[in-house]
Amino acid sequence: MRVLVVGGGGREHALCWKLAQSPLLTALWCAPGNAGIAEVARCVPIGATDIPALVAFAVEQRIDLVVAGPEAPLTIGLADACAAAGLRCFGPSAAAAQLEGSKSFMKQVADAAGAPTAAWARFSDSALARAYVRTTGAPIVVKADGLAAGKGVVVASSVEEAEAAIAEIMDDRIHGAAGAEVIIEECMTGPEISFFALCDGVTAVPFGAAQDHKRVGDGDTGPNTGGMGAYGPPPIFTAAMQAEVMARCITPVLADMAARGAPFRGVLFAGLMLTPTGPRLLEFNVRFGDPECQVLMLRLESDLLPLLVAACETRLHEVPVVWRDESAVVVVMAAEGYPGTPRRGTVIRGLEAADAIPRAKVFHAGTALRADGAVIAEGGRVLGLAATGTDLRHARDTAYAAVAAVDWPEGFCRGDIAARAVMPPTAATGE
């Protein structure tokens, strides 16, 4: 099969790396790709949101499957354009992608499906939003309604902090048009889990869980990011919890979307809070998480390609999902300045040494090749140093050994990815 992966981050590197192992694959392209992806796929200089150019390229190259990595091309109609051109695309239609593209739509669907989620209100007027916060009190959650690259959520511990977030999102428009409206939610408490299900419009099958680390600093301090590391499977997410999430969140939402005339095909990513009363839904995303995808691909025993095709053809019930009996950890290295303005153009060395460590894998995200062949930083989150192990401790130690092998003074990472999962609470948190 001839496959085109759309995107150029760590998630897409993981997808390309796994797809390249399929005996069904005959050719693999990635648009636009990055320096690491270029080792396993042919990179094409087409932007991930240039839908006409992507479809034209796919038609010209007789692509059998388009795999959408990020959410942006899906929300503007990549899958629809592919369908119109007679192409298979793993990913939802623009209508179904509104589960991520509009947080208010997601909340409406969750309520209609009876999925347990936080109480919420929507505002298009910042003064009314601030008045609501003053009435409700804190802690409280403020979210930009549209896409904000994982950075449009503020968990405010005080009314003043919530009002400041509303001003930045709605008045200053720090996330652009995504801040035209905000969602204000009750603040749920508990560990967060990323849970994934493959969907074909009718059937949903579990596709693993991971625990992400969103804050930029150790001990979950500092602003939210796109994700500074992840691990899986999370010991706290039990088989019983997975069954509950499938029954209460995934299956009824799949049915509700079909009833709306927007059947969901692709991967449905449920952000969950494990509250004292059980798992509750924080949000839906319509693509694999980044860096959670790296963890999933390292642990997946099954051939990924027939699974993705089955999702496109309403045949998921025919293809089993098999996992390796091991753990995986990924530590993100980011460029100085992230999650603000990252420093670009700095040279990264030691990648071969990191990749040579047994059971380690370097996933590229914001990298590029300079004319002289040097790998340089060209984004915020630049690398994912990942590893598998017989248990989380082994995987974590190996991932951090890979971090130590990288020579990049201008990069940084968190030092506590998966720490709570492998250490007693007092040792991991200092409490």
Q: Which amino acid is at 135?
A: T
Q: Is residue 15 included in any domain, yes or no?
A: yes
The CATH code of the domain that includes 393 is 3.90.600.10
Q: Is residue 22 included in any domain, yes or no?
A: yes
pLDDT score recorded for residue 424: 58
Q: Is residue 354 included in any domain, yes or no?
A: yes
User: Looking at the structure, do residues 270 and 371 belong to the same domain, yes or no?
Assistant: no
Q: Which of 186, 208, 223 is the last residue of a domain?
A: 186
Domain that holds residue 404: 327-429
The CATH code of the domain that includes 261 is 3.30.470.20
pLDDT score recorded for residue 147: 81
User: Looking at the structure, do residues 11 and 59 belong to the same domain, yes or no?
Assistant: yes
The CATH code of the domain that includes 159 is 3.30.1490.20
pTM, entire model? 0.93
Q: Is residue 107 included in any domain, yes or no?
A: no
Q: Is residue 346 included in any domain, yes or no?
A: yes
Q: Is residue 410 included in any domain, yes or no?
A: yes
User: Looking at the structure, do residues 204 and 314 belong to the same domain, yes or no?
Assistant: yes
Q: Is residue 68 included in any domain, yes or no?
A: yes
Q: Which residues pair with 384 in a beta bridge?
A: 332, 363
pLDDT score recorded for residue 168: 92
For the chain, which ranges sit under pLDDT 70? 149-151, 424-431
**pLDDT single digits (tens) 8-62:** 999 999 999 999 999 999 999 999 999 999 999 999 999 999 999 999 999 999 9
Q: What are residue 117's phi and psi, to 5 degrees?
A: -150, 175
CA pair distance 55, 31, nearest whole angstrom: 11
Number of domains in the chain: 4
User: Of the candidates 123, 63, 64, 66, which has an alpha carbon nearest to the alpha carbon of residue 92?
Assistant: 66
Residue ranges of alpha helices (H) inside 41-95 are 51-60, 72-75, 78-84
User: Looking at the structure, do residues 146 and 245 belong to the same domain, yes or no?
Assistant: no
Q: Which of 162, 186, 210 is the last residue of a domain?
A: 186
User: Looking at the structure, do residues 266 and 216 belong to the same domain, yes or no?
Assistant: yes
Q: Is residue 210 included in any domain, yes or no?
A: yes
